[in-house]
Amino acid sequence: MLSDVKRESSYREVRRLAYLRMLCDIVSKERVYEINDLTEEFLKKAQKWENELNSYKRCTGHFKEPSVARNHILVAHGLGLVKISGNYVESTSFSALFASLPMNEENPFSLTLYEKLSFFDLLFKKKFDTLAKILQSIYKLSGNRFDYHFLRKHSLDDHTVKSHVEWLIDLDIIIPHKPKEGDFELANINQFKNEISSAKSYTENLLKVYAQFLLNKSVLKSEADDKIIAESFEASFEKTKVYCQSEIDKKVFSALPIIYYCRLHLIVKYGIFINLFDLIKYMEKILPQKNIVFRWDPSYEGGFIKYEG
């Protein structure tokens, strides 16, 4: 069974986040795939991006054989982007979210703001210990330049290190000096350095600091009026509805993609950062006024939205 493969081996050649985004696009259309069919389709589509990868700032992570596609599926499963059940791969609320995000039409490997923020939130939430260990090791250097050899000294699996460093490159947190191997340096994000050096676990404040860096803003607003929240909800619903609609009741939609997209919309369009807890409180206040039922279970980190009438 695919999910029985050793975890560390699954990181082999999983270098570019854009491929994980592509996988979300594929599974969100059918929602359930037989594993061999998905591997074949994923491999064919990924190989069509060869020219774009070769023109990207890092041309590592080529798809050459089915095992590379399977490793991506395994990693996506570990991140919650897909769910492996026996010989089948199912979509999740997170794959629905990523499938709805705007993509860079010129080169999909150059992630959009929406993609960077979403991947940052997901990766640091799911892989905080590994990412923090890598970054904290680099921050202890007298300078910010380093190479893979330095990171191997810190008891991290080689494939794990390479994948996580390449993901940080896609997020603009690490700057490569060459398209393939070579040395790297950290982007100058002083506040982020302070946060990651002292953090014991992931908090949304890390996402806020990262958003400030991407938007080149020293401060993000923390409040919004009901009109802006309502507009952001409507815009987010339009972007996500095709991916998160219930197959049983067409008036019911998975809430997570819509709420997460709404948070992104507020950040990118308005420069407003509202944490999920407060944003959900806004929704509980506003949506009933629009004849919309909203239920959210914080322990499950999910819920539903239902249009009545």
**Which pLDDT score is estimated for 157?**
67
Distance separating alpha carbons of residues 24 and 18, to the nearest angstrom = 10
Interval 257-307: pLDDT, tens? 999 999 999 999 999 999 999 999 999 999 999 999 999 998 888 999 999
The per-residue pLDDT for 142 is 62
Q: What is the mean pLDDT of residues 180-204?
A: 85
Q: Is the pLDDT of residue 194 over 50?
A: yes
Residue 192: pLDDT over 90: no
Q: What is the pLDDT of residue 4?
A: 45
- What whole-number percentage of the chain has pLDDT above 70? 94
pLDDT at 5 over 50: no
Within 8 A by CB and 6+ apart from 46, the residues are: 19, 22, 63, 68, 69
| Confidence at residue 197, expressed as pLDDT on a 0 to 100 scale | 84
Distance, in Å, from the CA atom of 288 to the CA atom of 245, rounded to the nearest integer, reads 19
CA torsion sign, 193 to 195 to 201 to 207? negative
Output Rg (C-alpha) for the chain, integer angstroms.
20
**Alpha helices, H only, the chain:** 17-30, 35-47, 50-54, 66-79, 93-100, 113-126, 128-139, 148-152, 158-170, 190-198, 204-215, 226-244, 255-270, 276-286
213: left (phi over 0), alpha (psi -120 to 50) or beta: alpha
How confident is the model at residue 180, as a pLDDT? 79
Q: Does residue 11 surpass a pLDDT of 70?
A: yes
Tens of pLDDT, residue by residue over 235-263, are 999 999 999 999 999 999 999 999 999 99
pLDDT per residue over 82-93, tens digit each? Answer: 999 999 999 999
Buried b (16+ CB within 10 A) or exposed e, 28-40: beeeebebeebbe
pLDDT for 6 equals 43
Beta strand 302-307 with 292-297 is antiparallel
> Where does the pLDDT of residue 182 fall: very low under 50, low under 70, confident under 90, or very high at 90 and above?
confident
Rounded to the nearest 5°, which phi and psi values hold at 63? -90, 110
Spatial distance between the Cα atoms of 271 and 118, rounded to a whole number of angstroms: 16
The amino acid that residue 271 corresponds to is G
Domain ranges, ordered by start, for the chain = 2-109, 115-215, 226-307
Q: What integer is the mean pLDDT of 135-159?
A: 74
Is the whole-model pTM more than 0.85?
yes
DSSP characters for 162-218?
A: HHHHHHHHHTTSEEESSSSSS-EEE---HHHHHHHHH-SS--HHHHHHHHHHHHT-S
Confirm whether 2-109 and 115-215 share one CATH topology. yes
Average pLDDT, stretch 166-182? 90
Its CATH architecture, for the domain 2-109, is: Orthogonal Bundle (1.10)
Select the CATH number that applies to the domain covering 115-215 from these four: 1.10.287, 3.90.1690, 1.10.10, 3.80.10: 1.10.10
